[in-house]
Amino acid sequence: MRTLQQSFAVQFSYGVYFTENLFSTGNTLLTEVLQQDKSTSRRKVFFVIDSGVAEAHPQLAQDIKSYAQGHEQVMKLLAEPMVITGGEEVKNDTELLYQLLEAINTNGICRHSYLIAIGGGAVLDMAGFAAAIAHRGIRHIRVPTTVLAQDDSAVGVKNSFNSFGKKNFLGTFAPPFAVINDSQFLLTLDDRDWRSGISEAIKVALIKDEVFYNEIKENAEKLVQRDMPAMQQLIHRCAEMHVQHIGGADPFETGSSRPLDFGHWAAHKLEQLTNYSLRHGEAVAIGIALDVLYSKLKGMLTAAECEDILGLLHKLGFALYVPELSGCDATTGKLAVIKGLTEFREHLGGQLTIMLLTRIGKGVEVHEMDEKLLEQAIDLLKHRFQPQTLHHV
Amino acid sequence: MRTLQQSFAVQFSYGVYFTENLFSTGNTLLTEVLQQDKSTSRRKVFFVIDSGVAEAHPQLAQDIKSYAQGHEQVMKLLAEPMVITGGEEVKNDTELLYQLLEAINTNGICRHSYLIAIGGGAVLDMAGFAAAIAHRGIRHIRVPTTVLAQDDSAVGVKNSFNSFGKKNFLGTFAPPFAVINDSQFLLTLDDRDWRSGISEAIKVALIKDEVFYNEIKENAEKLVQRDMPAMQQLIHRCAEMHVQHIGGADPFETGSSRPLDFGHWAAHKLEQLTNYSLRHGEAVAIGIALDVLYSKLKGMLTAAECEDILGLLHKLGFALYVPELSGCDATTGKLAVIKGLTEFREHLGGQLTIMLLTRIGKGVEVHEMDEKLLEQAIDLLKHRFQPQTLHHV
């Protein structure tokens, strides 16, 4: 009996928009985005808001309601916006995931309705996961509010949820309906959330674009001073490079490599080892510092370039050492962070593939890491960047 | 600041294979399928087996182990096969889903490893859902063992899990790595599982292919007598039509219609109303009978064709009436099954779109259903197919 061969392509497309004051009545961006669906009836819309954003913007829920009323021919709010606790912890909270799915069910949100999530990367990851698995996928619009979410995580095609103590153990590849970056949300970020997303821009510049790296370096002081145009420029270019990268190669990651994840094998593990007290971007800064030093020790990168990168990260205010970097695994006696290599490989599947640097703007993939050199690199970070203990005389 | 436009296509392809005795050492099909990944190292493989299959084939787990040993250059069993309770209940069991995800984690099953599920449609739906959300998707091979799974559900790109009392509320579109139909598994099916999948073949024939419908009619007696070549022919043609349909149109169902789901709006609801004591295929037979009668009452289908179809379903042994078809919703006082229309619309999103018949081999989509006519059709089914009560004189 002959074999049947199935073969088809699925086309995905979405816009990443930049705006200010998304919910002021005169701003028509959201209505234009919704109307891309060509529907002739009012769109059913349900909002999820990160609790951190709701606190910093107490009028937001009311603004959304007014906006929906002002554009009632286009959209219809299905219910009050649902406020969800922000931060990585939300991705461990099975009960909250269930509540969101229940709200999707109770409010009759169908595949042609919209779940619009406003918040940091963690809330967007979790809400995106709920949207992807309810009814096999409802339409999802992301409104990222942190630098990291605007320049990196929200721009891509992934969602996630943590399980079994592993970051992003669950998730799917599910392109959003649209991504809308509103720079007004950046104004109320605390310094950590303002800073931490810069590391993703440095990361992508280091492996792909020396010109962008130099631009970040030139703007470093402005970025520290919270200059908005400098930050907008960084976010736009970083988001653009992500969009190009994802669309150009292997969007659903069927291969073994993840070329954009420079510095990430250690970052993911450090987040877990610090019980997520490190922000993702903060952990990435340490991961970059580690792999940059390792690249130098391995003889791939010059000492001057290594120094330049560590200097930039330090100038931007990133802590480049945390005690968890030197902690040992109770069972193996080895550095606990090194287990991140195995977990990184296991998550992607296939052969271990780690991105390192040969020069600023040029990454290269390797398939093994020398543990002795890694220990050496960690020691160097410790001696240089360990916070000074104050001695009382 | 200018908008970024993301746009890419993802190519999916997989084979649907037909074989006998998949795990006899001389059968090289599975090793050939695995080697399509071009990997040079041994593939990590984990098996899930439907408890019903494990009982009917007590030597199966041992056969799998021997097979893996006999082909150890190609594959490596990560653990003992995991036996999972069969039947629709498995799709309501959150604890079991968690256990399967935990096994995926514990055994280090990565995106390049294989989860091979052997069983009926429900176990394949649930295992497929676990495979789709672990690590954002691990490779999944389906070995369907019932007629329904072999000719319909396992051939497609969907997986699912029930939630909030709704069938398939959770799930994703995730094409399998391969589908392998082994006709030996059909030998041990009880009569219900042998019969119930035939309704999906009748369904697809009714809306698309009169020749196939007549072929089923000619073979009806053989099918009742459990003639294997007749069943293999039915399964192959039905699977072929599914593969063509899915690949040809809207595989991830972004539109509002689901043209293959003739008779399914009532079927899904009846499954739930009977607490899944009806098999999916049995419910589909009733759903077909209902929509065929409705099509006749609506003046779309001739009485002769309606009679022909009801006669075929009856001859094959399908019960075409269950009391739940006439049960009323306590709140609304209306027929409970009619709520299936709303739920069907909500699951797909957008406008209500129901497939009806204009003649055998030709379906047509409508966007409203007349409740009075539906009640009439249900009454007709009741008076004709209600099992006779025995009166003791």
pLDDT per position as a tens digit, A312-352: 999 999 999 999 999 998 888 889 999 999 888 877 777 89
Q: Same domain, yes or no, for A149 and A206?
A: no
Q: CB-based contacts of B29: which residues, under 8 Å, 6+ apart?
A: B17, B19, B22, B180
B315 occurs within a structural domain:
yes
pTM: 0.93
Q: Of B262, B304, B254, B253, give the one whose Cα is nearest residue B285.
A: B262
A226 occurs within a structural domain:
yes
CB contact under 8 A, A345 and B105: no
CB contact under 8 A, B232 and A1: yes
**Cα angle vertex B91, ends B87, B95, to 5°?**
115
**Which CATH number belongs to the domain containing residue A314 in this structure?**
1.20.1090.10
Q: Same domain, yes or no, for A185 and A212?
A: no
Q: Same domain, yes or no, for A179 and A224?
A: no
A250 occurs within a structural domain:
no
| Domain finish residue from A189, A207, A222 | A189
Interface mutation target, options A4, A138, A344, chain B, most CBs of B under 10 Å: A4
Q: Same domain, yes or no, for B158 and B255?
A: no
B320 occurs within a structural domain:
yes
A367: tokens are: 């398939």
Instruction: Measure the CA–CA gap between B9 and B13, rounded to whole angstroms.
Output: 13
Within 8 A of A248 by CB-CB distance, chain B residues are: 8
| Domain finish residue from A189, A209, A224 | A189
Of B13, B135, B252, the CB nearest to A347: B135
A positions 299-338 inside 8 Å of B (CB):
none
Q: Same domain, yes or no, for B289 and B232?
A: yes
What does A41-84 look like in DSSP terms, one character per residue?
A: SPEEEEEEEEHHHHHH-TTHHHHHHHHHHHTTTTEEE-SSPEEE
Query: What total number of domains does chain B contain?
Result: 2
- Contact present, B386 and B321 (Cβ < 8 Å): yes
A391 to chain B, closest Cα gap in Å: 46
Q: Same domain, yes or no, for B163 and B70?
A: yes
Q: Same domain, yes or no, for B156 and B260?
A: no
B7 occurs within a structural domain:
no
Q: Encode chain B (393 residues) as per-residue pLDDT tens digits.
A: 689 999 999 999 999 999 999 999 899 999 999 999 999 889 999 999 999 999 999 999 999 999 999 999 999 999 999 999 998 889 999 999 999 999 999 999 999 999 999 999 999 999 999 999 999 999 999 999 999 999 999 999 999 999 998 889 999 999 999 999 999 999 999 999 999 999 999 999 999 999 999 999 999 999 999 999 999 999 999 999 999 999 887 899 887 667 788 999 999 999 999 998 999 999 999 999 999 999 999 999 999 999 999 999 999 999 999 999 999 988 888 899 999 998 888 777 778 999 999 999 999 999 999 999 999 999 999 999 998 755 554
pLDDT per position as a tens digit, B290-300: 999 999 999 99
Share of chain A above pLDDT 70, in %: 98
pLDDT per position as a tens digit, A259-282: 788 999 999 999 999 998 999 999
A282 to chain B, closest Cα gap in Å: 23
A19 occurs within a structural domain:
no
What does B161-193 look like in DSSP terms, one character per residue?
A: EEETTEEEEE--B---SEEEEEGGGGGG--HHH
Within 8 A of A254 by CB-CB distance, chain B residues are: 111
| Domain finish residue from A189, A224, A240 | A189
Q: Which domain holds residue A342?
A: 192-232+256-384
Give the model's pLDDT for residue A393: 45
Q: Same domain, yes or no, for B71 and B107?
A: yes
Of A113, A236, A243, the CB nearest to B349: A113
Q: Same domain, yes or no, for B217 and B292?
A: yes
Burial B68-104, CB ≥16 within 10 A → b, else e: beebeebbebbeebbbbebbbebbbbeebbeebbebb
Q: Same domain, yes or no, for B265 and B358?
A: yes
Within 8 A of B239 by CB-CB distance, chain A residues are: 4
- Is the per-residue pLDDT at A227 higher than 90? yes
Q: What are phi and psi of B261, to 5 degrees?
A: -90, 40
B250 occurs within a structural domain:
yes
DSSP single-letter state for residue A184? G
Of B4, B14, B133, the CB nearest to A240: B4
Q: Same domain, yes or no, for B280 and B325?
A: yes
A14 occurs within a structural domain:
no
